[in-house]
C-alpha cells in the first residue's frame, strides 16, 4: 500500500517562498493620498524657506527664527547651544589643520591649500564618546509637544535615543555616492548619508540605530549630518548649521537641487515613502510613532592621512598622490599595497531638542593611549577584509563538511551509529543552519561580496543537508534499539510478590542437580514444559536465519522510525527560524539583556559535546567520533563566536568581551579533555555505578586475578603456538606464565596477548595499580570468557555484536 505523505512541509516551503518574493513596499492606499499630498506640500514650503533665506537669518540669541518645524520660537528647542557647539567644532578643525583652518573655512576652497584627506569618505569608524559640559538636561515638558505632535495622545512620554550616561560607544557607517546628482560641478561639496549606532556604557545601557543625511566638503574633510523627522526639518535647515558663510552657500546650492529632485520623485510616485530623509534605521516613517525621539546634529572632521612620501614627492611604492591611492583602492589594478594611517575622524554631536552635547574621546583632552577619537577603515578596505574573512570561513565550512562525510563513513554500521549522540549532531546542524541564514542576509549590511556570501551560505546549507541525513540514520538505528528495549523490559522486571509469600511468582527456581535446594512451595508457579507452552501460547513463527530481530512481528502496532522523519525535519526548521528571529529581536534590547542572551546562547551552542559525553557514560563506550572530526568542529565553530565576541569594532555591540571569550574557549577545551579522558581512562571514570543514575554495563577491561574467586580465566582459541623462556614448544591455548603476566592467543589476528595478572595473595596496589589500569586497555575480555586485542575486537564489533569464537551476543561498547 502506498504511503500517504504529509503535505505540511510542502505548504510551509511554498509560504516561505511567497514571503521572500513578496514586494517590500506597497502603493499608498486611497485613504492616505490626501495626507501624502499634504506632506508633499509641506516639503515644498520648507524648500522655499531654504531657497529664500540667507546666512545669519537663523540666530536664536538675536531672536531670529525660521518658519521650519523645530526652528520656530514656539517649539522650545534650546538653540542657544548651537553657537557654542559650532565653536567647538571649529576648534577641532584648527587643532587638526593648524593655520590652514581659516583658509578652508572661509574659502573659496579652490584657493586654499590642498589637504591630505580622502575625497570619498565611504567607510566606517568607531570609538567612544564623552558627555560635554555644554549640554543641559531637558524633559519633554520643556518643549511645546502639543504643537510638535498634535496627534500624539501621550505628549509627555520620555524621549527615545536620549543619552543620559557620561560616556558610551558609537559606530558611524558613512556612504557617499559620486555623480552629478550628488555633487556640484567642481566637486567642492557632495551629499553623504550615515548609519549611526550609538549607546551608553552602563549596566542597563541602551543602543540605538539611526540614519542621518548631510553634506561632505572633500577639500578639507568636513562633514555635517542631521536627522529629519516630523518635529524637526533637519535637512531643510542644514545650511544654517554650517561653520562659515561660504560653507553655507555651498550647502544651500547643493541641497536646493537635490532636495527638489527627491520631492519630484515622491510626487511622481517613484518613491513610496513619506519621508525620504527619515532617521529610522529600517527606513519607516516616524510620523506615526507615539514616542518622540531625540534629534541629532553631528559635526565630523577627517584627520589627515599619513602616507610615506620621499623627497621627490612620490610615495615609496610609486604612488604620486593620495587621490591616486584612493583610486587604486576603489578600482584595483594589482599595485602593491601602501602602508598608511587608518581612516580617523573627530566628532561633536548636538541634540537640538534633548539638549545634550557629546564629543569623541581623544587628544588633546584625553591621552592617545586611552582613545584616538573615531578610527576605522575605508569601505573598499572593509569589504576586501570582509571578503577574505568570508572566504576563510567558507574554507572552514568545506573542511568541516569533508570531515563530516568521513565521520559518516566511519559510522556506517548500526553498532557505531548507536554510539553517536543524536543531540550532538542536532546542535551542530543548528549552528550550520544559523550560519547559512546569517550569510544569506549579511549582504544587506555589507553591500558587496554577494557571490562569496552565497557560496559560503551554500556550503553551510550543504552541511545541514548531510547532518540531517546523518540524523536520520542515527534516529533509525536508535529508535530500533529503543523499541527492542521496550519489548525486553516486561520480561526483565519482576512484579511485586503476593503478601505472605516468600518469593515472587517470576523468581526462577534453582537449577536441578544442586544439593542445597528445597521443594517449591505449593503456591509457587511451576515452569511449563515445551508441549504445554506451545499449547498455551499458540503457534510460534520462527524466522529464518537472515531475518533480523527488528523484522519479527510483534503483537503491538509499532510505527516505523522513518515515518517520523518528516516531522523531525519540520521541527528542526521551525526551531532554527525561531532561534534566528529571537537573535534579531534581542539585538534591539538593552546592553545587559543582550550580553546575558549572547553569552548564554554561545555557551549553549558550544556545549555540543556534552550530549556525546553523556551518551558515552550511559552506554559505557569510550570513543564514538573521530578525533580529527572533534577538533576541527570545535575550532571551526569556536572561531566565529570568538571573532564577534572579542574583536574590537567587529562585535555587534561595540566593545569586545574578552572575559566571555576566555569562558567559551575554556568551556570547549574542558569538553575535549573530557572526551579524551573517557577514551583513555574509561567512559565512567568519574561516575560510580553505585550512585544508581547510570545503568549497569559490562566492563570489557577487567583486572585478572589468580585467586580462587577470580579464577575464571579467559580461554583463547587454539590457533597458534608459543614457547616458554626455556625454548621448549608448547600447545596453543596454554597460557605462558611469567611473573605477574600471562600470554593468551587472539583468534582474530592469531597473535599473542600479554596480559597483566594479579597473583594469588597479592593486591593490585602492591603490583602497581596505575600501571595495570593503563595496561588493561590493551586487551578485551568478553562475557563468554574469550580474550582479544582491543583494536581487533573493536574493529570486529563495528560490524557485528557477536563473539568471533562462540557467536554469543556481546553487549555494545
Of 434, 473, 437, the residue nearest 454 (C-alpha): 437
Selection from 252, 179, 186, 181 nearest residue 219 by Cα: 186
- pLDDT for position 631: 94
Model confidence over 355-393: pLDDT tens digits? 899 999 988 888 877 788 899 888 888 888 888 888 999
202-220: average pLDDT: 84
749 has a pLDDT exceeding 90: no
CA distance 444 to 173: 13
- Once rounded to an integer, what is the mean pLDDT over residues 690-695? 66
Residue 641 contacts residue 668 (beta carbons within 8 Å): no
Residue 554 banded pLDDT, cuts 50, 70, 90: very low
pLDDT in tens, 89-112: 998 888 888 777 777 787 765 555
pLDDT attached to residue 215: 94
Which region among 333-337, 552-556, 629-633 has the lowest average model confidence (pLDDT)?
Answer: 552-556
Predicted pLDDT at 108: 65
Neighbours of 637 (CB within 10 A): 20
Q: Can you give the residue ranges of every domain in the chain?
A: 37-306+341-372, 386-486+562-691, 704-797
Average pLDDT, the chain: 75
* 766 has pLDDT over 70: no
Instruction: Report which of residues 330 and 786 the model is more confident about.
Output: 786
Helix (H) or strand (E) holding 322: helix 322-330
Asked whether 736 and 743 are in contact (CB, 8 A), the reply is yes
Bridge partners (DSSP) of residue 209 are 197
pLDDT tens-digit profile of 48-68? 999 999 998 998 888 899 999
The pTM assigned to this predicted structure is 0.69
Does 108 sit behind a cis peptide bond, omega within 30 degrees of 0 on the bond before it?
A: yes
Handedness of CA 63, 64, 68, 71 (dihedral sign): negative
Dist CA 133 CA 634 (whole Å): 50
pLDDT in tens, 601-622: 999 999 999 999 988 888 877 7
Helix (H, G, I), strand (E, B) or coil at 619: helix
Identify whether the C-beta of residue 759 lies closer than 8 Å to the C-beta of residue 793.
Answer: no
Give the DSSP letter of residue 574: H
The answer to which of 445-454, 531-540, 621-630 has the lowest mean pLDDT is 531-540
- The lowest-confidence range among 79-93, 306-320, 357-371, 614-628 is 306-320
- How many Cβ atoms sit within 10 Å of the Cβ of residue 59? 15
More confident position, 296 or 266: 296
3-class DSSP state of 167: strand
Taking alpha carbons only, the member of 181, 314, 262, 207 closest to residue 598 is 207
SS3 673: helix
Closest C-alpha to 361, from 197, 202, 128, 198: 128
Q: How confident is the model at residue 431 (pLDDT cuts 50, 70, 90)?
A: very high
Cα distances (Å, whole numbers) of residue 394 to 401, 405, 434, 435, 437:
10, 17, 14, 11, 14
| pLDDT reported for residue 545 | 39
| DSSP states of 197-247 | EEEE-STT--EEEEEEEEEEETTTTEEEEE-BBTTB-HHHHGGGG-SSHHH
DSSP 752-777: EEEEEEEPTT--TTTT-HHHHHHHGG
What single DSSP character describes residue 298?
E
Amino acid at each position: 500500500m502506498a504511503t500517504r505523505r504529509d503535505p505540511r512541509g510542502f505548504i510551509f516551503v511554498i509560504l516561505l517562498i511567497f514571503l521572500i518574493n513578496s514586494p517590500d513596499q506597497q502603493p499608498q492606499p486611497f485613504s492616505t493620498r490626501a495626507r501624502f499630498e499634504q506632506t508633499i506640500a509641506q516639503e515644498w514650503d520648507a524648500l522655499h524657506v531654504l531657497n529664500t533665506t540667507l546666512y545669519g537669518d537663523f540666530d536664536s540669541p538675536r531672536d531670529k527664527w525660521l518658519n521650519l518645524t523645530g526652528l520656530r520660537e514656539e517649539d522650545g528647542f534650546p538653540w542657544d547651544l548651537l553657537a557654542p557647539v559650532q565653536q567647538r567644532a571649529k576648534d577641532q578643525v584648527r587643532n587638526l589643520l593648524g593655520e590652514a583652518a581659516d583658509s578652508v573655512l572661509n574659502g573659496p576652497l579652490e584657493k586654499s591649500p590642498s589637504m591630505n584627506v580622502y575625497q570619498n569618505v565611504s567607510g566606517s569608524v568607531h570609538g567612544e564618546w564623552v558627555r560635554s559640559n555644554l549640554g543641559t538636561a531637558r524633559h519633554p515638558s520643556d518643549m511645546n509637544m502639543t504643537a510638535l505632535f498634535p496627534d500624539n495622545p501621550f505628549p509627555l512620554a520620555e524621549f527615545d535615543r536620549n543619552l543620559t550616561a557620561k560616556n558610551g560607544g558609537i559606530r558611524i557607517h558613512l556612504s557617499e555616492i559620486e555623480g552629478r546628482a550628488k555633487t556640484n560641478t567642481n566637486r567642492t561639496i557632495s551629499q553623504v548619508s550615515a548609519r549611526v549606532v550609538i549607546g551608553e556604557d552602563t549596566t542597563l545601557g541602551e543602543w540605538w540605530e539611526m540614519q542621518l543625511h548631510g553634506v561632505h566638503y572633500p577639500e578639507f574633510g568636513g562633514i555635517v549630518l542631521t536627522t529629519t523627522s516630523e518635529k524637526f526639518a533637519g535637512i531643510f535647515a542644514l545650511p544654517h548649521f554650517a561653520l562659515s558663510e561660504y560653507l553655507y552657500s555651498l550647502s544651500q546650492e547643493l541641497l536646493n537641487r537635490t532636495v527638489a529632485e527627491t520631492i519630484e520623485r515622491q510626487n511622481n510616485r517613484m518613491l513610496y515613502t513619506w519621508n525620504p530623509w527619515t532617521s529610522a534605521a529600517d527606513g519607516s516613517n516616524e510620523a506615526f510613532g507615539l514616542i518622540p525621539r531625540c534629534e541629532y546634529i553631528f559635526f565630523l572632521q577627517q584627520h589627515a592621512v599619513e602616507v610615506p612620501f620621499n623627497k621627490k614627492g612620490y610615495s615609496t611604492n610609486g604612488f604620486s598622490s593620495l587621490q591616486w591611492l584612493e583610486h587604486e583602492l576603489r578600482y584595483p589594478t594589482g599595485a602593491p599595497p601602501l602602508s598608511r594611517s587608518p581612516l580617523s575622524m573627530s566628532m561633536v554631536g548636538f541634540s537640538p531638542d534633548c539638549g545634550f552635547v557629546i564629543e569623541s574621546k581623544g587628544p588633546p583632552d584625553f591621552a592617545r593611549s586611552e582613545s584616538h577619537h573615531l578610527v576605522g577603515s575605508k569601505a573598499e578596505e572593509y569589504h576586501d577584509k570582509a571578503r577574505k574573512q568570508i572566504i576563510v570561513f567558507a574554507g572552514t565550512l568545506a573542511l568541516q563538511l569533508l570531515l563530516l562525510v568521513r565521520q559518516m563513513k566511519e559510522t556506517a554500521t548500526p553498532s557505531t551509529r548507536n554510539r553517536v549522540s543524536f543531540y550532538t549532531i542536532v546542535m551542530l546542524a543548528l549552528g550550520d543552519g544559523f550560519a547559512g541564514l546569517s550569510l544569506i542576509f549579511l549582504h544587506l549590511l555589507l553591500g558587496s561580496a554577494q557571490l562569496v556570501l552565497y557560496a559560503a551560505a551554500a556550503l553551510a546549507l550543504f552541511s545541514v543537508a548531510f547532518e540531517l541525513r546523518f540524523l536520520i540514520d542515527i534516529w533509525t538505528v536508535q529508535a530500533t534499539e529503543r523499541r527492542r528495549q521496550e519489548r525486553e523490559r516486561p520480561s526483565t522486571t519482576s512484579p511485586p510478590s503476593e503478601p505472605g509469600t516468600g518469593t515472587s511468582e517470576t523468581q526462577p527456581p534453582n537449577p536441578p542437580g544442586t544439593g542445597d535446594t528445597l521443594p517449591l512451595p505449593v503456591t509457587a508457579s511451576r515452569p511449563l514444559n515445551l508441549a504445554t507452552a506451545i499449547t498455551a501460547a499458540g503457534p510460534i513463527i520462527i524466522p529464518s536465519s537472515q531475518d533480523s530481530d527488528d523484522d519479527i512481528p510483534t503483537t503491538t502496532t509499532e510505527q516505523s522510525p522513518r515515518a517520523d522523519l518528516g516531522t523531525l525535519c519540520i521541527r528542526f526548521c521551525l526551531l532554527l527560524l525561531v532561534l534566528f528571529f529571537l537573535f534579531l529581536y534581542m539585538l534591539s534590547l538593552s546592553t545587559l539583556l543582550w550580553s546575558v542572551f549572547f553569552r548564554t546562547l554561545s555557551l549553549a551552542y558550544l556545549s555540543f559535546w556534552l550530549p556525546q559525553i553523556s551518551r558515552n557514560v550511559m552506554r559505557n563506550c569510550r570513543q564514538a567520533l573521530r578525533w580529527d572530526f572533534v577538533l576541527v568542529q570545535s575550532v571551526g565553530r569556536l572561531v566565529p563566536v570568538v571573532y564577534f565576541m572579542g574583536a574590537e569594532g567587529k562585535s555587534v555591540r561595540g566593545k569586545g568581551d574578552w572575559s566571555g571569550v576566555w569562558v567559551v574557549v575554556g568551556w570547549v577545551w574542558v569538553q575535549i579533555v573530557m572526551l579524551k579522558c573517557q577514551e583513555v581512562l574509561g567512559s565512567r571514570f568519574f561516575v560510580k555505578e553505585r550512585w544508581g543514575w547510570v545503568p549497569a554495563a559490562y566492563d570489557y577491561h577487567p583486572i585478572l586475578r589468580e585467586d580462587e574467586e577470580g579464577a575464571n580465566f579467559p580461554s583463547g582459541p587454539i590457533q597458534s603456538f608459543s614457547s616458554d623462556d626455556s625454548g621448549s614448544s608448547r600447545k596453543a591455548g596454554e597460557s605462558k606464565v611469567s611473573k605477574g603476566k600471562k600470554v593468551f592467543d587472539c583468534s582474530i589476528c592469531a597473535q599473542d596477548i600479554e596480559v597483566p595478572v594479579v597473583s594469588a595473595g597479592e593486591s593490585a596496589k602492591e603490583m602497581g595499580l596505575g600501571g595495570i589500569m593503563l595496561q588493561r586497555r590493551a586487551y578485551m575480555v568478553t562475557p563468554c570468557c574469550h580474550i582479544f586485542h582491543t583494536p581487533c575486537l573493536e574493529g570486529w564489533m563495528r560490524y557485528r555484536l557477536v563473539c568471533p569464537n562462540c557467536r554469543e551476543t556481546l553487549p555494545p561498547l
